[in-house]
Amino acid sequence: MDRSFLEFLRNFLLHSAERQRQMDDISQWIRLGYRGFDDLMELLKKSYGLDGVSEKSPEFHQLWEKTSQDFKESFQECLNLLHVVSRSDYDTLKKENELLKKQVSEQEKVIIKLRAMLGEKVTGLPEDVAKGIQSLMITQMDQYQEIMKSFSRMFSGTSSSEDTGSERKKTEVTRQQRKKK
């Protein structure tokens, strides 16, 4: 912070203590283009050495631009040291926060819909999938046994008509036992 700002701040704090002014006065004064608070303007001119320069001189305009810029920068630096957020920064962050909350809300709705769609498409839970695989394996095993019995009959020379009835009963009983498990 520049020396002139510190002098202004010292005088302002003394002045504020006397009149119990708040920091809001300065913020409003800056927003109004240094108008509306004549006593603060005089304090600023005195602190930055502009009180001896005529406002009508071309030199004053150049000095005023530099003073105004230096004052704003130093004021912002002072607010930062005090961990005070400017209203414009606050408003910007507030709008950003509201947009992000809206975006999060929309994304949560999409996630809920996607989860519902995923739940509808997946017909089986892991248990159901395991049972389906087990049923398929039993069916394949039964079919394999039928093929092996056919080969066995073919090579042993027994007719298929002799064993067909009893073999079918045994196979059916075996299937039912496996399904119960």
pLDDT at site 141: 92
Contact of 27 with 90, CB cutoff 8 Å: no
* Residues 70-128 pLDDT 10s: 888 888 888 788 787 777 888 999 999 999 999 999 999 999 998 888 876 555 567 77
- How far apart are the two ends of the chain, measured CA to CA in Å? 84
pLDDT reading at 161 higher than 60: no
pLDDT at site 164: 54
Contact of 18 with 25, CB cutoff 8 Å: no
pLDDT reading at 181 higher than 90: no
pLDDT at site 110: 94
pLDDT at site 78: 83
CB under 8 Å to 60, separation ≥6 — which residues?
A: 50, 53, 54
pLDDT reading at 165 higher than 80: no
pLDDT at site 17: 67
* Residues 2-61 pLDDT 10s: 888 888 888 888 876 665 556 677 777 777 777 777 777 888 888 888 888 878 888 888
Residue 82 is given by DSSP the state: T
* CA angle (22 as vertex; 19, 28 as ends), nearest 5: 115
pLDDT at site 158: 61
pTM: 0.41
pLDDT reading at 129 higher than 80: no
Residue 67 CB-density burial (10 A; 0-12 exposed, 13-18 middle, 19+ buried) = buried
